[in-house]
């Protein structure tokens, strides 16, 4: 592992209780001769100033510490796409599948990290392109899922799905989720999808409230190209990426989804494995 001399700290900017944590963390890191970089929003939490936007932090540092919940880490995941910068997620939220490290574990784990004694979990990312009338409109990296769904007042929508140009099915449903293994414990799980070990090379295609009871989640290889074509006219339909970036779709728009070449490196907690995280977060065994 390379020596970590520059560390970025990105906090959920609406999490006021993060202010004291940031102050303590900066003081601790500076005591270890580590240069600390804050984005402007995180700096504002402690009434400080920073010249850096959040999007600039990954290019400046050797490691990013995320203070917040899974949503904060998902926003950072888009920024580190294509950069070899590991991310340490510290849970200040309620659930925290991705931000698995607790505040109690933070400093003992950082002691290990600064000596190079740490492990990373490499997670698959997706490249998502939206095509309209032969033109590529936009492109986004995705860590959890791509969700196509109807608005509150729209009727059931029709989504034509192809895998590597082979026709799969036309789903009549409230929507469709294409999930990575990392995202299998997010919206896809709530919609009846399977839990996939986060290091597996697979994708889940999961219809939301399908019209046909025989339409079930499908697990496919990670190296395929998935194309979803909107076949419904005059409906309120959107594609949402990691629950954070939204885009309105029109009739015959194509949502193209492929595995990205890059991956995100999440620093693993040294005190638990994935199965313990599942038991804790999903409350398995409780009565």
By annotation, the residues acting in catalysis are 70
Give the pair of three-digit tokens for residue 129: 């392109």
Give the pair of three-digit tokens for residue 106: 């933070």
Q: Could you tell me whether strands 35-38 and 6-11 are parallel, antiparallel, or unpaired per DSSP bridges?
A: parallel
d(CA 176, CA 227): 12
d(CA 18, CA 92): 8
d(CA 68, CA 43): 15
Structural contact between residues 226 and 161, judged by C-beta atoms closer than 8 angstroms: yes
Taking Cα atoms as reference points, which of 80, 113, 100 lies closest to residue 279? Answer: 100
Beta strands in 145-252 (DSSP E): 145-150, 157-163, 166-173, 175-179, 202-208, 218-221, 226-230, 237-241, 245-249
Structural contact between residues 140 and 260, judged by C-beta atoms closer than 8 angstroms: no
């Amino acid at each position: 592992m390379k020596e970590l001399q520059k560390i970025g700290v990105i906090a959920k900017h609406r999490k006021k209780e993060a202010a004291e944590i940031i102050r303590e963390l900066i003081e601790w890191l500076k005591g270890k001769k580590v240069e600390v970089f804050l984005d402007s929003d995180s700096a504002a939490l402690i009434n400080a100033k920073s010249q850096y936007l959040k999007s600039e932090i990954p290019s400046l540092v050797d490691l990013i510490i995320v203070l917040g919940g899974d949503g904060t880490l998902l926003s950072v995941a888009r920024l580190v796409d294509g950069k070899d910068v590991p991310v340490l997620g510290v849970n200040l939220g309620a659930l925290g599948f991705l931000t698995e490290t607790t505040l109690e574990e933070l400093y003992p784990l950082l002691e290990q990290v600064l000596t190079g004694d740490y492990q990373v979990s490499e997670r698959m990312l997706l490249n998502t392109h939206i095509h309209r009338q032969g033109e590529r409109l936009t492109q986004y990296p995705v860590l959890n899922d791509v969700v196509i769904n109807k608005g509150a007042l729209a009727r059931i929508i029709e989504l034509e799905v192809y895998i590597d140009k082979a026709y799969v099915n036309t789903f009549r449903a409230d929507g469709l989720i294409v999930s990575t293994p990392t995202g299998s414990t997010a919206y896809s799980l709530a919609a009846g999808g399977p839990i996939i070990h986060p290091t597996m090379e697979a994708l889940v295609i999961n219809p939301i409230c399908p019209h046909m009871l025989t339409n079930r989640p499908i697990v496919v290889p990670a190296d395929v190209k998935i194309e979803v074509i909107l076949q419904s006219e005059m409906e309120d339909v959107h594609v949402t990426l990691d629950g954070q970036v939204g885009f309105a779709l029109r009739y015959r728009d194509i949502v193209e989804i492929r595995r990205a070449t890059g991956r995100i490196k999440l620093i693993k907690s040294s005190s638990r494995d994935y199965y313990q995280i599942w038991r804790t977060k999903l409350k398995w065994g409780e009565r």
